[in-house]
Amino acid sequence: MLRTHGHTKACFVGHSLGTAAISWLLHSPTHHTYVASTVLLDPVTFLLFHPAVAYNFVYRPPTTVLELLTHYFVARELYIAHSISRHFNWSRNAVFVEDLPPANPRIVPAHRVARYLGASEGEGEGGAVDVLFYEGLSHGEGMLKREVLERVVGKIRGACGVDVVEEGNGGSAREVVAEAERVKRRVSKKRGGGGRADN
C-alpha cells in the first residue's frame, strides 16, 4: 500500500494487541525500513517476559466493571482467545527500546513499562522514547477520556510530521476527525468516486 501511494516510510499506530503487528514490522529484516515512527497505545509488547503480563490478560479474575467487560468481550472473544492461547509467540512479539526508531511517542498503561521506558507519571522523556503515562487508568480507558484522547491525537500528528496544533486552536479530536473526512473526500474524488466519502 505504501508503494502504491508513493511512500517509502510511515508512522504506524497500534493499540493493545495491534502493537504485536508493529513488533513484526520492527523485527522484519525486509520491512523495518518502512517504519519511520510508531505510536503504541496501551502496548502489550513491552516486558512480555514478565509473568504478570500473561496472567493479567488470560487468567486474572476481573475485579471492576471495565475489567469484566474486557474479560468477556476481549480476552474471551473466540478469535483473540485462540490467538493468545495457541498462536501468540511471546518471545517474537516482545519489543525493547533498542528495537524502536528514534523519537517515538508512546502511551503506556503500566508502572513497570513506564519505569522500563524511563518515565514517571505525566509526560516525560525516557531517553529516545516520549512517554505519556496516566496513573489510575485501566487498559484502554484513556481512549474514553477526551483530554487523554486529544493528547494522543497530538502525539500521532507529531509522529506523522503534521504540525501539532495547540489545544483549543484547532487540535481537538473532533476537528482532526473532520480533517480526516475532508482528506477522505479528496482521495475519493481523485479515484473517480465523485467526491462521496462512502465510495
Q: What is the pLDDT of residues 41-51, one digit of tens each?
A: 888 888 777 77
The most distant pair of C-alpha atoms in the chain lies apart, rounded to whole Å, by 53
Predicted pLDDT of residue 108 = 42
Q: Which three cell numbers mark 74?
A: 476481549
Question: Cα–Cα distance between 80 and 75 in angstroms, integer?
Answer: 6
Q: What is the mean pLDDT of residues 163-167?
A: 51
Reply yes or no on whether the pLDDT at 126 is more than 50: no
Q: At 101, is the pLDDT very low, low, confident or very high (cuts 50, 70, 90)?
A: confident
pTM above 0.85, yes or no: no
Are the beta carbons of 38 and 11 closer than 8 angstroms? yes
The side-by-side arrangement of strands in the sheet containing 129-133 is 10-15, 35-41, 104-108, 129-133, 122-126
Query: Cα angle vertex 152, ends 17, 172, to 5°?
Result: 135
Q: Which three cell numbers mark 165?
A: 496544533
Predicted pLDDT of residue 1 = 84
Q: What letter would DSSP give residue 166? A: P
Q: What is the mean pLDDT of residues 88-112?
A: 68
What's the first-to-final CA gap in the chain, in angstroms? 18
Highest mean pLDDT: which of 22-26, 62-66, 126-130?
A: 22-26
The amino acid that residue 116 corresponds to is Y
Virtual torsion, Cα 105, 115, 75, 37, nearest 10 deg: 20
Look at the block and give the residue holding cell 498503561: 109
Q: Which three cell numbers mark 191?
A: 479515484
The percentage of residues in the chain with a pLDDT greater than 90, rounded to a whole number, is 3
Instruction: Classify burial at 106, counting beta carbons within 10 Å of its beta carbon; exposed 0-12, middle 13-18, buried 19 or more.
Output: buried
